[in-house]
Structure 1
Amino acid sequence: MTTRRPLRHCGATAALSVALLLSSCTGGAAKGAAGSGGVGDPLFPSLGNGGYQVTHYGLALDYDVKKRHLDATARITAKAQQNLRSFKLDLRGLEVSGVQVDGEDAAFSRKGHKLTVTPGAGLEKGATFRTTVTYRGTPQEMTDPDESHEGWVKTPDGAFVAGEPGGAMTWYPVNNHPSDKATYDFTITVPAKYTAVANGELRSKKTAKGRTTYVWHNGLPMASYLTTATIGNFRFTESRTADGLPLYEAVDPAEEAGSRKVLNRLPEIIKWERGLFGPYPFRSAGAIVDNTPERIDWQALESQTKPIYAGAPDTVTVVHEMSHQWFGDSVTPKTWQDTWLNEGFATYAEWLWDEHEGGKTPQQQFDALYKKGKKDKLWAYPPGRPGKAAQVTGDPVYYRGGMVLQQLRNAVGDKTFFRILKEWPAEHRYGTADSAEFIAFCQEQTDKDLKELFDVWLYGKGKPDRTF
């Protein structure tokens, strides 16, 4: 998730003003059933859609920076998981001018942030189908329950695009839930003086008639909240690490001086994290540093392959966001209630880095936090069971999540703990996982019974009265 200013890490929960009731998804009818509007997420029930899984998005975006106007086409390849009479996509605002399914015009309707598509013929379970949505308009940002901003955020020289958890639907039609990961291609056309940066690797850049088209390819699975298509007057550089990993950096000139020293350490940080977490999971890395409006009150988001920073980052923020490439981006939570699996690990990476740099040990970090009184917000709710959407971004998820890992380390010992740090992301690479799977995985690594540890530290209410 994002890192926020000053202690509120992350842009997280979407202001989903329309609470849609989940509909039944039972298949089997001759012409199929209607795919549900929502996947049953315990914190964001109206995000995502049932009945299908997307495998690929091809997004063609033509953006007029001055007019703030977007003309776009989304080509979505998906597989039906049940017989479908209709299905839904998430799209907030923007005007849809046409929808096709497998090359044939399809009926469509809008309600809230749901776009319902009804093909001329039903879709059979197991069938791969291709949906094309043509749309246009002025993308708008969203305000989260914690009052932070996400989605397509206007900047003086373009757009700052960050999507955790629901902001992706402000700029393309999407099955907007981390449980449905897909590959992506981005074709982004902007006025020639601007740079457009998206996830993955730059395939081409061509200028004609005063406009430049950037083609980016992200060929490994990605959750929608990790997508970006950020546009601005950037200093854009391409380089490689010593072992050949491509690096792409896009930095707003106003943030260049403050970013240079930290970004110069990016190859070092990646190498250090590889040593802890195993092989880097993607085909490129990098950073986007933008000069954002004052209302952007969070620092960073771990957009896949290129974390996006709302201003010049410090080193520990880069460490945090890059660790998410393993924990959150490669291994993605099945629901938003499992976010501690992202943020607890990223917080613990900060603690390990601090020790690496000659600062406090993780145990000292733990001890300082444990001294906080019982009424401190750190103990407001258990990290493994946030009860409200806004709580996904709170201190318990981040800091107490890190404390869970220190308790695990104390219980199983360093050798087993650091094996877990490598083997957990390897076991679930490019997939999704939940807390129950993590607990079971850890239990397999040790003869010590870990049930009480997780019951107390991950799920227990209030300040735990004992450590392990």
Structure 2
Amino acid sequence: MEHRAFSRLAVPAVAALLALTTACTGSTVQGRPGASGLRDPYFPKAGNGGYQVEHYELDLDYDPDKGQLDATAVITARAEQGLSSFNLDLSGLKVESVRVQGAGARFNRTGNELTVRPAEDLEKGEVFRTEIDYAGKPKALVDPDGSEEGWITTEDGAVAVGEPVGSMSWFPGNHHPSDKATYDITLTVPKGYEAVSNGELRSRTDTDDGRTEFTWHSPEPMASYLATAAIGKFKVTTGRTASGVPVYNAVAPEESEAAAPVLARLPEAVEWGGRRFGPYPFSTVGSIVLPAQTLAYDLETQTKPAYSGAPDEETLVHELAHQWFGNSVSPESWKDMWLNEGFALYAEWLWSEDHGGITAQRRSEAFLAGDTSVDPHAGPGWDAFPPAAPPGPDHISDPPVYYRGAMVLQRIRQEVGDEKFFALVRGWAADHRYGNVSTADFTAYAQEKTGHDLGKIWDVWLYGEGRPK
């Protein structure tokens, strides 16, 4: 109603009103609070509105004996509207000070929301720098499905894993996959420890007080749930793939012997992925192998997947495939998780097919027939709900998201043939490199790229209820 009443004012009256506003405030730009959540279908409070982060600079000093973290986060972002205040996601930890554009800013905490009020409103389009000093003992969070994420302590250190919102347990940010940024992460730990993060190791420096500082740089955009920090007595090995991609593996000593044969195939798997999916999308590749039982899952943390114990070959391929599908091409919302997991599982099927194992076609037949002798997951459960419509946040990692998601891709391949299908897969990875996508983006792209009407596949396999036939 206010907008309509204002629009009826005569033009001279509008000009006079604006002049009066300028005289009283000194500016026609008036900020408003940024939203405290992005209304994700499954995690509505995740992320924040009004700005996009361009870069995170995290300086983390960790004492494993005390479990104490002392940290500074410097966040460079661009305002998408005039901002009188904005929110950051942060769980636990004590905020000691906040500065915006170099000036002290007021702030308050409500639950996992840190609300920041700059000394002066930020203008739309303004690039602004926020510095947050914070400290405390970071904790694990419990997912809706009961698993733990966030900052997980281990016998000799800790590991940070973030899917879906666990990264807010160790640094403040815009924690939704739709806001991707570059990262510089510095980890300072006691001498004798290794500290591993995403991207390239830029420096390793021993300090005068018996500590070691590791500086990691991630030049390609990354969703915050893919950021990691792993601290422990890791055994580190390095190398390169045939095409020159640097390899960095950090392995818990007790897992070293079991992990070695599988990790030895990582360079080969990167080259294979390049042929199947297009060029590897990041400047480095590697692995973090944690002591067994550290986590209840493995996670595709960007450039260095985190494995809970020595991985098998299929798991290595799955998490590597995520570097294309999920990490480079990231979901627009958590409802689009099948675009991560369906592609990564299908990569396992392709690896098997290309290395003399069960073909994707044979797996497809097994799933339709419920033949668990071919694939133990072909029994009940994989078809419980459509992959594009998980019933809730506690189901986004359930079998249908993986297995029925992979079957969507197999059905497309059967419909359009190998030439068009693999052109589709490579084109999807290339055309959406470092971006965010939705299920609607994929269905439109697949139809345009293949020239086929794939509506029946979407209706039956992607959105349909009940067991597909």
Please confirm whether the aligned pair reaches a TM-score higher than 0.5, indicating the same fold.
Answer: yes
1:321-400 residue pairs with structure 2 within 5 A? 321-372=319-370, 376-400=380-404
Structure of greater Rg: 2
- The CA deviation at 1:370 is 1.7
Higher helix share: 2
Instruction: Specify which of 432, 438, 444 is matched with residue 434 of structure 1.
Output: 438
The residue that corresponds to 2:99 in the other structure is 100
The residue that corresponds to 1:54 in the other structure is 53
- The CA deviation at 1:30 is 4.7
Greater Cα shift, 364-373 or 404-413: 364-373
Instruction: Specify which of 299, 302, 316 is matched with residue 301 of structure 1.
Output: 299
For 2:28 and 2:230, locate their aligned partners in 1 and report how far apart those are by CA, in whole Å: 43
For 1:449 and 1:421, locate their aligned partners in 2 and report how far apart those are by CA, in whole Å: 17
1:229-378 residue pairs with structure 2 within 5 A? 229-293=229-293, 296-298=295-297, 300-372=298-370, 376-378=380-382
Once the two structures are superposed, residues 381-404 of structure 1 have per-residue CA deviations (whole angstroms, 9 ceiling, x without a partner) of 110111200111011100000000
The residue that corresponds to 2:140 in the other structure is 141
- The CA deviation at 1:293 is 4.3
The residue that corresponds to 2:179 in the other structure is 180
Q: TM-score, normalised by structure 2?
A: 0.91
Contact 2:161/2:299 (<8 A) preserved: yes
For 1:310 and 1:293, locate their aligned partners in 2 and report how far apart those are by CA, in whole Å: 6
Paired letter, 1:330: S
Once the two structures are superposed, residues 351-404 of structure 1 have per-residue CA deviations (whole angstroms, 9 ceiling, x without a partner) of 011112211110111121222399932222110111200111011100000000
Contact 2:138/2:151 (<8 A) preserved: yes
Paired letter, 2:432: H
Contact 1:331/1:432 (<8 A) preserved: yes
- The CA deviation at 1:447 is 3.2
The residue that corresponds to 1:68 in the other structure is 67
The alignment status of 1:416 with 2:382, answered yes or no, reads no
Once the two structures are superposed, residues 430-464 of structure 1 have per-residue CA deviations (whole angstroms, 9 ceiling, x without a partner) of 11111111111111123321112111110111112
In structure 2, the CA distance between the partners of 1:31 and 1:447, relative to structure 1 (3 Å rule), is: closer
- The CA deviation at 1:117 is 0.2
The residue that corresponds to 1:128 in the other structure is 127
In structure 2, the CA distance between the partners of 1:417 and 1:29, relative to structure 1 (3 Å rule), is: farther
Paired letter, 1:393: S
Q: TM-score, normalised by structure 1?
A: 0.91
Contact 1:166/1:225 (<8 A) preserved: yes
Contact 1:155/1:292 (<8 A) preserved: no
For 1:366 and 1:162, locate their aligned partners in 2 and report how far apart those are by CA, in whole Å: 33
- The CA deviation at 1:160 is 1.7
Contact 1:287/1:309 (<8 A) preserved: yes
Paired letter, 1:314: D
Paired letter, 1:251: V
Paired letter, 1:362: A
For 1:343 and 1:29, locate their aligned partners in 2 and report how far apart those are by CA, in whole Å: 48
- The CA deviation at 1:32 is 1.3
For 1:101 and 1:448, locate their aligned partners in 2 and report how far apart those are by CA, in whole Å: 51
The residue that corresponds to 2:16 in the other structure is none
- The CA deviation at 1:338 is 0.5
For 2:384 and 2:28, locate their aligned partners in 1 and report how far apart those are by CA, in whole Å: 47
Q: Structure 2 regions of 5+ residues with no counterpart? A: 1-26, 372-377
- The CA deviation at 1:266 is 0.4
For 1:370 and 1:113, locate their aligned partners in 2 and report how far apart those are by CA, in whole Å: 44
Once the two structures are superposed, residues 276-308 of structure 1 have per-residue CA deviations (whole angstroms, 9 ceiling, x without a partner) of 0000000000000011546x221x111111011
- How large is the Cα RMSD of the aligned pairs? 1.5
Contact 1:29/1:83 (<8 A) preserved: no
Contact 2:293/2:309 (<8 A) preserved: no
The residue that corresponds to 2:452 in the other structure is 448
Greater Cα shift, 380-389 or 94-103: 380-389
Aligned residue for 2:78, secondary structure, equals: strand
Contact 2:246/2:283 (<8 A) preserved: yes
Contact 1:60/1:188 (<8 A) preserved: yes
Aligned residue for 2:396, secondary structure, equals: helix
Runs of 4+ deviating beyond 6 Å: none
Paired letter, 1:357: H
The residue that corresponds to 1:20 in the other structure is none
Paired letter, 1:400: R
Contact 2:88/2:114 (<8 A) preserved: yes
Q: Give the number of equivalent residue pairs.
A: 436
For 2:348 and 2:137, locate their aligned partners in 1 and report how far apart those are by CA, in whole Å: 38
Contact 1:155/1:293 (<8 A) preserved: no
Greater Cα shift, 28-37 or 202-211: 28-37
Contact 2:238/2:248 (<8 A) preserved: yes
- The CA deviation at 1:29 is 8.7
For 2:66 and 2:205, locate their aligned partners in 1 and report how far apart those are by CA, in whole Å: 22
The residue that corresponds to 1:215 in the other structure is 215
For 1:447 and 1:234, locate their aligned partners in 2 and report how far apart those are by CA, in whole Å: 50
Q: Of the two structures, which has the highest relative contact order with CA contacts closer than 8 Å and spacing of 6 or more?
A: 1
Once the two structures are superposed, residues 166-192 of structure 1 have per-residue CA deviations (whole angstroms, 9 ceiling, x without a partner) of 110000001000000000001110001
Contact 1:43/1:387 (<8 A) preserved: no
For 2:101 and 2:178, locate their aligned partners in 1 and report how far apart those are by CA, in whole Å: 24
Paired letter, 2:441: E
In structure 2, the CA distance between the partners of 1:193 and 1:370, relative to structure 1 (3 Å rule), is: same
For 1:143 and 1:350, locate their aligned partners in 2 and report how far apart those are by CA, in whole Å: 29
For 1:441 and 1:206, locate their aligned partners in 2 and report how far apart those are by CA, in whole Å: 47
For 2:212 and 2:285, locate their aligned partners in 1 and report how far apart those are by CA, in whole Å: 23
Contact 1:160/1:292 (<8 A) preserved: no
Paired letter, 1:355: E
The residue that corresponds to 1:162 in the other structure is 161
